[in-house]
């Protein structure tokens, strides 16, 4: 087994992430189903329900990839628009939702113009989480909802050991055999190191102007769902 990859930061990380996702796009959906054992569909549905958004609400799905979460949002009667920096992922997308190629840290969207924001398994790929949360706060109307799904490190010892075996050993092994870009599937498990611990992650969301912040875990703590409501300007989150 190869050693864990060195994790880049700043512009080096941005370029590496974009290039990596361009490369894995053609087989990304298939590998996602295998790696998540098919549970990803339920996680996405739970994310959509957590928004509590009314029918017809406009939702930005950031780092939308091939559009899985966009499809779930549309199925719930919402109006998604997907944004992703990777041209390869957008080219492989299967969703009917409108798609925009954009750096999600600098969205081409007016302030206070959307009802909700979602993000699936991408927080660890951004170069600056504080900037990302602030940008989400900027585009959301007061009272708008935020929901982000991502990997997490289980707190319970046995679950953490099992998660490490699966995510850091089995996933790279599967990626090495089913993907045309094996290094990507060594990076993806290692990239969870970019994420702050749960309480710190929730604190960052509050600092960006969100209230009613909640963090729930699934799969024994190996998956987390972070939600919040955009507070009115000037109100303490």
Per-residue model confidence as pLDDT tens digits over 67-96: 999 999 999 999 999 999 999 999 999 999
Which pairs count as long-range contacts for 190-194, CB under 8 Å and 24+ apart, including other chains?
Answer: 190/4, 190/5, 190/7, 191/7, 191/124, 191/125, 192/124, 192/151, 192/152, 192/153, 192/167, 193/7, 194/7, 194/123, 194/124, 194/125
Q: What percent of the chain has pLDDT over 70?
A: 96
For 10-230, CATH number?
A: 3.40.50.150
Confidence (pLDDT) at 156: 79
Confidence (pLDDT) at 3: 54
Confidence (pLDDT) at 2: 45
Judge contact between 230 and 146, C-beta under 8 A: yes
Which pairs count as long-range contacts for 11-14, CB under 8 Å and 24+ apart, including other chains?
Answer: 11/127, 13/127, 14/85, 14/103, 14/127
Helix (H) or strand (E) holding 92: none
Q: How far apart are CA 233 and CA 12, in angstroms?
A: 34
Confidence (pLDDT) at 236: 47
Mean of the per-residue pLDDT values for the chain? 91
> Distances from the Cα of 54 to the Cαs of 78, 136, 144, in angstroms?
7, 19, 11
Residues of the chain below pLDDT 70: 1-4, 234-237
Question: How far from the centroid of its chain's Cα atoms is residue 228's Cα?
Answer: 15
């Amino acid at each position: 087994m190869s050693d864990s990859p060195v994790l880049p930061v700043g512009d080096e990380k941005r370029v590496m992430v974009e290039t990596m996702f361009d490369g894995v796009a053609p087989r990304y959906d298939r590998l996602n189903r295998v790696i998540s054992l098919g549970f990803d569909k339920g996680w996405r549905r739970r994310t959509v329900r957590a928004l509590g958004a009314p029918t017809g609400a406009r939702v930005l799905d950031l780092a939308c990839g091939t559009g899985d979460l966009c499809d779930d949002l549309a199925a719930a009667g919402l109006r998604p628009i997907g944004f992703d920096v990777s041209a390869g992922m957008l080219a492989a997308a299967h969703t009917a939702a409108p798609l925009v190629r954009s750096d999600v840290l600098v969205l081409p969207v007016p302030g206070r113009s959307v009802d909700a924001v979602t993000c699936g398994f991408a927080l660890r790929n951004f170069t600056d989480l504080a900037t990302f949360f602030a940008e989400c706060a900027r585009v959301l109307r007061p009272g708008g909802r935020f929901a982000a799904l991502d990997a997490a490190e289980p707190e319970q010892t046995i679950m953490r050991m099992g998660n490490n075996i699966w995510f850091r050993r089995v996933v790279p092994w599967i990626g090495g055999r089913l993907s045309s870009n094996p290094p990507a599937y060594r990076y993806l498990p290692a990239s969870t190191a970019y994420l702050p611990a749960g309480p710190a992650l929730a604190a960052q969301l509050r600092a960006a102007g969100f209230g009613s912040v909640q963090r729930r875990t699934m799969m024994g703590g190996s998956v987390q769902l972070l939600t919040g409501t955009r507070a009115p300007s000037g109100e303490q989150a």
